[in-house]
Amino acid sequence: MRYRLKSITKTTEGENKFMAEHNLGDSHQVFDGEGKTFTINDKHVAIFNINGDLFAFEDACKHMGGSLGKGKLEGNLVACPNHGWQYDVTNGKCVTENECESGCRVDTFPVKTENNEIILSLPE
């Protein structure tokens, strides 16, 4: 993994955050229809590939911290491998409404590919 450059990014909550871009290597390591977990500076991040589009969010279920990157993906939804809470990988929102509080979600992070490499932005 290579540290690249810094940028200012507006988060989904509308906040401006100082972000650092991280090159995670070959984009083909995240297969279409699957997820993978990466650890960057002790932060665990799940990245999913849906039809070639990448989505990144914190790899910790809001229930008891299960690894969402190891969950099964169906459409846009990933199920936590521990107890099955489901999250929309496109926005991090938990859709298991009878279990989690309304608005429960995991933090999402900007991710893209450049020259077939994964570029992930994380707040500093």
The answer to whether residue 64 forms part of the interface with ligand FES (CB under 6 A) is yes
Cα distance between residue 76 and residue 68, in whole Å: 13
Can you say how many angstroms the Cα of residue 106 is from the centroid of all Cα atoms in its chain? 8
Select 1 or 64, whichever has its Cβ closest to ligand FES: 64
The tokens for 44 are: 């665990």
Sequence-distant (6+) residues with CB within 8 A of 116 are 26, 27, 28
| Minimum CB–partner distance for residue 50 and ligand FES (Å) | 20
Among the listed residues 11, 82, 90, 113, the single contact to ligand FES using CB under 6 A? 82
Among the listed residues 17, 36, 43, 63, the single contact to ligand FES using CB under 6 A? 63
Select 44 or 84, whichever has its Cβ closest to ligand FES: 84
| Minimum CB–partner distance for residue 99 and ligand FES (Å) | 8
Residues belonging to the chain: 124
The tokens for 19 are: 């972000």
Among the listed residues 38, 85, 87, 109, the single contact to ligand FES using CB under 6 A? 85
